[in-house]
Structures are given as C-alpha cells and as structure tokens.
Amino acid sequence: QDEQAQERIVAARERLGDRAVLLCHHYQRADVYRHADLTGDSLKLAKLASQTDAEYIVFCGVHFMAEVADILSRPEQVAILPDLAAGCSMADMANLAKVERCWRELGEVLDDPDASITPVTYINSAADLKAFCGEHGGIVCTSTNAPKILDWAFAQREKVLFFPDQHLGRWTGYKKDIPLEQMVVWDPDQEYGGLTPDEIRNAKILLWKGHCSVHQMFQESHIRRWRMQHPDGFVISHPESNLEVCLNSDHVGSTEFIINTIKGAPPNTQWLVGTELNLVSRLAEEVKPEGKTVQFMAPTVCMCSTMQRIDPQHLAWALENLADGNVVNRISVPVHEAELARLALERMLAV
C-alpha cells in the first residue's frame, strides 16, 4: 500500500509539472520528505513560500505553516495542507479570545498596553494571533530570529508579551541578559494571568504559559548522563526545550541550524540532539559515513504526532485531486485577517 502511494505521488507530480511546489518541514517523515522540492525551518519555508511562482504550494508541515504560505503568497496562488488535522499543539495553547482578555487585563494594570507592551507571537500560532500583533504594533518571530526580534520589540516599547511558547521566550530573554525574575509566566486560565499588579508592573517579559509537547520531554538529566559516557561529545538543542536543557547544551537553534551545525562539524564527532525524532533519525543516517554519531535526547520515542499526520496516502490524494483540477484542503486566511497578519510577518522579514 505504501509503495502504491509512492507511485501515485510520482505520477501526480508528473501531471502537475511546475504548477505545484512541495515545501517540506524538517520534521516530516522520510516517506514524505523524499518528495520535497524545498525543505527548511519555519523562517526559511516562509521566505520560500513568498518567493515561489507555483500555482499550488503543497505544504508538508503543520497548519500554521500553510497559513503563513497563504498569507505571504500572491492571491492567485493556493496553499494546500494534505491533512487538515495536522495542527500544532503548542499553537493551540493560545487563542484570540484568551490573548484579547490578557490585553484587557494588562490594560487595567498598565493603563494603555498599546503604549507599553509589544506583543510578539512565535510563528507557531494561528493567523488571527499574528493579525492581533499586526494590529497592536507587534511582530512575529521564529526560532532563528527571536533574539533580533526581541531587540526590535524592546526598541518600540518597554515590555514584551511573548506567546505561545514560554521556553523560547525565556531562553531568548536570558540571552539578552533580562533577569529571570523579570520574566514572569502569564497563565491564561487564571485572572490577570495569576499575577499580582506589582509582578505585572515589574516584568520585562510576560511569558505565555505554553510549551511544545515534544520538546518538553528533554531534560537536563538526559544531557548529564550522556556527557558522562561521551565526555568529548556535543549537545545541540532546539530553543523550545526548557531553560536547563538550553543552558546545558553546546549549541541552541532552529531545526535548520541543528542540521547545518552537525553536517558542518568535523568527522568522527558525537552529538546528542534535543529535537524531533524524524529529523534526528534522518540526520544520523546522513552523517554516518563521516563517522559522526547522532543520538536522540529522550529515552522514549517522541515524534511530533501532528507533523506525522502528513503521510504518503494523504499527499497522493491531494496531488491527484490537484492534477484533476479539484482543489482540496485549501488553507485560506480571511482577507482582513491576512492583511494584518502580513503586517506582523513583514515587520519580521524586514528586521
């Protein structure tokens, strides 16, 4: 059945020619990744989506990525997500109603949040939250550009509201020498985020209480144990990991950064990697001939279950429909929302 799906993908792509481009995130499973025209982390894929001339942008990734492709591409281009259930559990930890309530409650303590707080949304968020940032003088960031974006945000206003990933926000603030006590967690399920007025007034960064279910598995104890057995080895992690993991890693960065760093490293080096398993397994195979070993950080198997939903069957089905002239699984952000979200994304791309 799998072999059949592979053949169907190849045949449908031949029929489509250059009318369709396949953009693939690094967490995609091997049997999908092999069909990619272009691969990347979220920032690279966003830029590629804004540059392609293809009629169909078939996004092998998760929902927010396909939304970004739709927002940054031209109106006549069509973004497709082969399985609409491919969401991101972290992105779902913030929604517009909760962020608007947070803004209102902050306004009760700080008078005018539009004058004192820059909202920064991680690209792992729904389009309406990017639109919120566009409307309120805020910006989008990715795991690659978060430090520069934080500088930009503080150049506008004295405080930052960072959502939905507390870990990326905390690590980035830490690298910018913001004291840990001035980075407080905003719990959206409590009134005033569970904070006192003084805690809100003294904060530099309000960190939304969100996290990635995959990266939360990585613990500092995994690194400690591995280093005892590999004293000359290197540890590299994605910044969605917690602060202790980031502090104990030799390198921290995006999926693209992780791949480039290990590929560019000297032969016969040993690596422990704190990011999703599909990426780590593929990388381990690719660098094996150079004598490099690449090991996954957690003792348990943890893939991103939503990235995994894009399988050869869904991809074959979507491509065949496109080749037959049926647009299926189109991701289309409403015009007004897309305009405001584009503002926040373009601010990011300009920084």
Residue 67: name its binding partner from ligand 13P, ligand SF4, none (Cβ under 5 to 8 Å by kind).
none
What does each C-alpha distance from 310 to 5, 35, 83, 121, 238 come to in angstroms? 12, 12, 6, 25, 22
Site string for ligand 13P, 182-221 (x = CB under 6 A): ------------------------------x---------
Segment 115 to 144, residues that bind ligand 13P, using CB under 6 A: 124, 142-143
246 near ligand SF4, rule: CB under 6 A: no
CB of 128 to ligand SF4, least distance (A): 17
166 near ligand SF4, rule: CB under 6 A: no
Select 26 or 159, whichever has its Cβ closest to ligand SF4.
26
CB of 142 to ligand 13P, least distance (A): 5
**CA-only gyration radius of the chain, Å:** 21
CB of 177 to ligand 13P, least distance (A): 23
CB of 171 to ligand SF4, least distance (A): 14
The region of 14-22, 33-41, 85-93, 220-228 touching ligand SF4 under the rule CB under 6 A is 85-93
Side-chain-facing half-sphere of 322: CA atoms under 13 Å: 33
Site string for ligand SF4, 193-232 (x = CB under 6 A): -------------------xxx------------------
What does each C-alpha distance from 225 to 65, 134, 156 come to in angstroms? 35, 44, 43
CA proximity to 150, closest of 135, 137, 164, 139: 139
Q: Over the range 16-48, which residues count as b (16 or more CB within 10 Å of their CB) and which as e?
A: beeebbbbbbbbbbeebbebbeebbbbbbbbeb
Q: Are strands 38-40 and 78-80 parallel, antiparallel or unpaired?
A: unpaired
Which residue among 70, 128, 240, 311 contacts ligand 13P (CB under 6 A)? 240
In degrees, rounded to 5, the angle at the alpha carbon of residue 75 between the alpha carbons of residues 99 and 338 is: 10
Query: Distance between CA 130 and CA 68 in Å, rounded?
Result: 10
Give me the residues paired with residue 206 across strands.
161, 184
- Residue 316 near residue 5, CB atoms below 8 Å: yes
CB of 306 to ligand SF4, least distance (A): 6
Looking at 210-307, list the stretches that DSSP marks H as alpha helix, in order from N- to C-terminal side: 220-229, 243-247, 255-263, 277-287
**CA dihedral defined by 203, 208, 213, 214, rounded to 10 degrees?**
-50
Number of residues near ligand 13P (by CB under 6 A): 11
42 near ligand 13P, rule: CB under 6 A: yes
Segment 265 to 284, residues that bind ligand SF4, using CB under 6 A: 276
Which residue among 306, 310, 315, 337 contacts ligand SF4 (CB under 6 A)? 306
The region of 146-154, 167-175, 289-297, 303-311 touching ligand SF4 under the rule CB under 6 A is 303-311
CB of 331 to ligand 13P, least distance (A): 17
Query: Distance between CA 279 and CA 193 in Å, rounded?
Result: 35
Binding site for iminosuccinate, residues?
Answer: 25, 42, 122-124, 143, 238-240, 255
Residue 142: name its binding partner from ligand SF4, ligand 13P, none (Cβ under 5 to 8 Å by kind).
ligand 13P
